[in-house]
Amino acid sequence: MEASRARAESPSAEFLGELARERPAAVAFGVIALMLLALVAAKGLHDVAQATLNSLTLGTIYALGAVGLTLVYGILRLVNFAHGDFLAFGAYMAYLVNVTWDMPLVAGIVFAMATTALLGLFFERIMWQPMRAKGAGFLQLLLMSIGLAFVIRSAIQWFWGTEIRTLDVNVVDSVTFLGLRIGQTELVVVVVGIAVLVAVGLVVRFSLLGKRMLALSDDLDLAETAGIDTRRVILYTWLFAGALAGLAGVLSGALTNLRPELGFELLLPIFAAVILGGIGNPFGALTAGLVLGVVIEWSTLVVEPRWKVTFGFVALIVALVIRPEGIFGRAKAI
């Protein structure tokens, strides 16, 4: 950002502008490092470290949600506004197991991941696949996904009402480490989330399925010509996206609480991570989700916490306007 503004001013600025175009991720991390130094200088190491630790929970949830959304977006050209409600659906499925049936949260997580994955698969079969076969356009699919979001949210409201519910988790105990405090549940969320994110990264990078997903995201027709069974890969993509959304929903529900509008509240920050990471790029989404969580939490050191969501959206708009292909995306024609 800084670099592009300074471009016209001097030869060294020209070099920076070049760098911003060629190595945007390096520049982004440079800017973030500068922000970090400035914050440490102004607020002290302890406060910044504590805010960063707090931010990991939020960042993990954004990252988990964004990986699935970016794959669906990249492969199917579907701007899925119902993705946030997939998260909410997962959270309520965990509630069913964890609170209604009084079973451990682990069982709830597994159940939520399985059911949300099946939900994704179900709508692929009854909606998205027939619509693609009809050659539906982007706006048509976008509006359908808004309709689907309404349907899922009203189903949640129908069965569970609008009251705020909580999962059966320990919200009292906390762990102290090097003078930093983190709640027990937060710690579990971060550990589980990061572990899954690493696993996801490895699967996408090294497994045959992951490579096929990347190929489809790059160019669906070319992948099909190359002999990849695209239909099957698409089904797996939905399972993958649904399971991760379900997990993200449960983790978010464990950290805060459950309410029907949970999904929509998470949707825009997740979209921000998808776009910052470059559409269709799961590694980008993963990194951008974590970074977004960190930057949003840092903002609370400078401005009042109630502004932090606003801050995240402003970051999204600025990023889109300056570099629509994302920090980790390649400069395709946008």
Partner 1 sequence: MSPPPLAFTLEAFTNFGFWSGVLTIAGIYAVVALGLQLNVGYTGIVNFGQAGFMAVGGYSMAILVLEAGLSFWLALPAAVLITMAFGMLIGLPSLRLRADYFAIVTLATAEVVRLAAQNARGLTGGNKGLYCEFDGGDQVCFDDAWRSVSDSILGFVENFWADPEALLPLLLVVWLTVAIGIVGLSFVQGTPWGRVLRAIREDEDAARALGKNTLLYKLQSLAISAMLGALAGFFLALFLATIHPDDYEPIVTFFAFGVLILGGLASYKGVAIGAVLLWTLLEGTRFVELPISEEKTAALRFAIVGVALILLMAFRPQGMFGKREEMVLGD
Taking the complex as a whole, how short is the minimal distance between the CB of residue 96 and partner 1, in angstroms?
A: 17
Among 109, 149, 258, 327, binds partner 1 (CB under 8 A): 149
Residues binding partner 1: number (CB under 8 A): 46
- What is the Cα 295 distance to its own chain's centre? 14
Taking the complex as a whole, how short is the minimal distance between the CB of residue 333 and partner 1, in angstroms?
A: 9
Among 12, 158, 179, 221, binds partner 1 (CB under 8 A): 158
* Token digits of residue 128: 């998205």
Chain residues 169-208 in contact with partner 1, contact rule CB under 8 A: none
Chain residues 48-87 in contact with partner 1, contact rule CB under 8 A: 79
Among 121, 144, 190, 286, binds partner 1 (CB under 8 A): 144
Q: How far apart are CA 121 and CA 234, in angstroms?
A: 9
77 versus 211: smaller Cβ distance to partner 1: 77
130 near partner 1 (CB under 8 A): yes
Residues 6 or more apart whose CB falls under 8 angstroms from that of 228 comprise: 212, 215, 216
Taking the complex as a whole, how short is the minimal distance between the CB of residue 291 and partner 1, in angstroms?
A: 17
In the chain, the N- to C-terminal Cα span, in Å, equals 18
Among 33, 42, 143, 302, binds partner 1 (CB under 8 A): 143
Amino acid, res. 173 = D
103 near partner 1 (CB under 8 A): no
313 near partner 1 (CB under 8 A): yes
Contact 184, 175 (CB under 8 A): yes
151 near partner 1 (CB under 8 A): yes
271 near partner 1 (CB under 8 A): yes
Span interacting with partner 1, options 19-27, 52-60, 239-247, 318-326, rule CB under 8 A: 318-326
79 versus 94: smaller Cβ distance to partner 1: 79
127 versus 209: smaller Cβ distance to partner 1: 127
Q: How far apart are CA 308 and CA 215, in angstroms?
A: 36
* Token digits of residue 298: 């840092």
Taking the complex as a whole, how short is the minimal distance between the CB of residue 311 and partner 1, in angstroms?
A: 9
183 versus 312: smaller Cβ distance to partner 1: 312
Q: For the chain, what is the total number of helices (H) and then of strands (E)?
A: 15, 2
According to DSSP, residue 280 is labeled T
Sign of CA dihedral 200, 334, 331, 75: positive
283 near partner 1 (CB under 8 A): no
Contact 234, 73 (CB under 8 A): no
Assign residue 179 a region: left if phi > 0, alpha if psi is -120 to 50, beta otherwise? left
191 versus 303: smaller Cβ distance to partner 1: 303
Q: How far apart are CA 251 and CA 238, in angstroms?
A: 20
Nearest to 319 by CA among 27, 103, 9: 27
Taking the complex as a whole, how short is the minimal distance between the CB of residue 238 and partner 1, in angstroms?
A: 17
Q: How many CB atoms lie within 10 A of CB 70?
A: 31
Q: Rg of the chain's alpha carbons, rounded to an integer?
A: 20
Residues in contact with partner 1, shown as a per-residue x/- string from 221 to 260 under the rule CB under 8 A? ---------------------------------------x
Kindly provide the residue ranges of all beta strands, DSSP E only, lying in the chain, ordered along the sequence: 174-177, 180-183
- What is the Cα 308 distance to its own chain's centre? 17
Contact positions vs partner 1 (CB under 8 A): 79, 127, 130-131, 136-144, 146-151, 153-155, 157-158, 161-162, 260-261, 264, 268, 271-272, 275, 304, 306-307, 309-310, 313-314, 316-317, 320-321, 324, 334
